[in-house]
Amino acid sequence: MKVLLELLGDTSRVLESVEDLGDFRPDSRERVRELLVQLRTEADRILSSEPAVDSPKREREEYFQRALEAISSGAYEIARGVLEDSVARFPEDFEFWSYLGLIAWEQGDLEGAEAAYHRAEEIAFGDGLDPVEVESAGDPALRAVEGRALSLYKMGELERAVQRFEWLGKNFPDQYVGCTYLAGEIHHLRGFIDEALRCYEQVPAEPAVLYNRGLAHFELGQLQEGAESLIQAFVSNVHVAASLLGRYAYQRPCTPGYLGSESYAEEFATACRKLWHQAPGSLHFMEVCFDHHLVQRHLEACSEQGGAMLLQVGDGQMEGEGWLEELQGEGTVSQMAGRVVMRLRS
């Protein structure tokens, strides 16, 4: 095959320099003509046997490429137009519907996002969600389910949202562990505190989890556990407490990176302020924990020593199990929580 390719390449280069048969010597002209006719015949035969180009497939790829280019450049109006044309041309293509949901979400069109994600989910799963139909945890169909759950949550459709968050977290825990947390948040909002706590205890101990876990323990009357969780939460992000209590966070954060930042605190406070304000006595409980002199001393020590230690291990380690134990001893936190509870009851 290699020799054949080389011969065909050489022949093509020679023929490029030929204007017509008159360029050949008279004694070889007829033979060249016969060879060219034969080459044309064989070329037509081989090319005619080639499978026809899948025009719809090529058209789909062109739509997809145009949409992705518009999305990557932030041209959401253009992307939405392309995707609307795409779903009109390929109405059973769940990926186009899913991307249309993403663009609607980015534009703040929750109803449009939910409708598009809903259609993507219907195409991908039919009558109901079934993990058997998912090829892998990276299957794009799962993003449609997550997108719809988020849209439903923002729209206040909590029951349908929590069903999807629970399904994702249960069946694909490594990739969708955040959905288990969000399921807990919804259970919490709906007043199902035990269910909320069950979800919180299944996910890594980042600030949002610790704060809401502390709140859940408080609402269940488990003050010791609630205080322990809140003390850990203060260490993980002190700005959240400052925001919810309406104070200026004068302490240096104990935790470096995004998880310990004011930006994270603002996002959490926006999402969960209602949760905290609807629980009678919750902010007073947080305030008593936060203002206790042992807790304040602990926060100062953690900001001086723990921050440097966490910077050495890297922000990525802060989301793993046990990262708080690297910063503060379990016994120390338990003792401080006990003192806080004594003050509450005095």
Return the domain boundaries, the chain: 59-155, 158-203, 204-346
Give the pLDDT band (50/70/90) at residue 1: low
Give the pLDDT band (50/70/90) at residue 293: very high
296 vs 17: which has the higher pLDDT: 296
Q: Can you name the CATH fold of 59-155?
A: 1.25.40
pLDDT for the residue 303? 82
pLDDT for the residue 33? 79
Give the pLDDT band (50/70/90) at residue 202: very high
Q: What whole-number distance in Å separates Cα of residue 223 and Cα of residue 346?
A: 14
Give the pLDDT band (50/70/90) at residue 249: low
Average pLDDT taken over every residue of the chain: 87
Residues 6 or more apart whose CB falls under 8 angstroms from that of 183 comprise 162, 165, 166, 169, 199
Tell whether the model's pLDDT for residue 204 goes beyond 70: yes
- CA 3 to chain CA mean position, Å: 52
The rounded percent of the chain whose pLDDT value lies above 90 is 62
The rounded percent of the chain whose pLDDT value lies above 70 is 87
pLDDT for the residue 250? 65
pLDDT for the residue 214? 98
pLDDT digits (tens, 9 = 90+) for 319-329: 444 545 555 56
Query: CA dihedral defined by 127, 131, 136, 139, rounded to 10 degrees?
Result: 30
The answer to whether the CB of 146 falls within 8 A of the CB of 124 is no
The answer to whether the CB of 116 falls within 8 A of the CB of 97 is yes
Predicted model pTM: 0.77
pLDDT for the residue 211? 98
Mean per-residue pLDDT, 328-346: 84
pLDDT digits (tens, 9 = 90+) for 53-108: 568 888 999 999 999 999 999 999 999 999 999 999 999 999 999 999 999 999 99
pLDDT digits (tens, 9 = 90+) for 229-243: 999 999 999 999 999
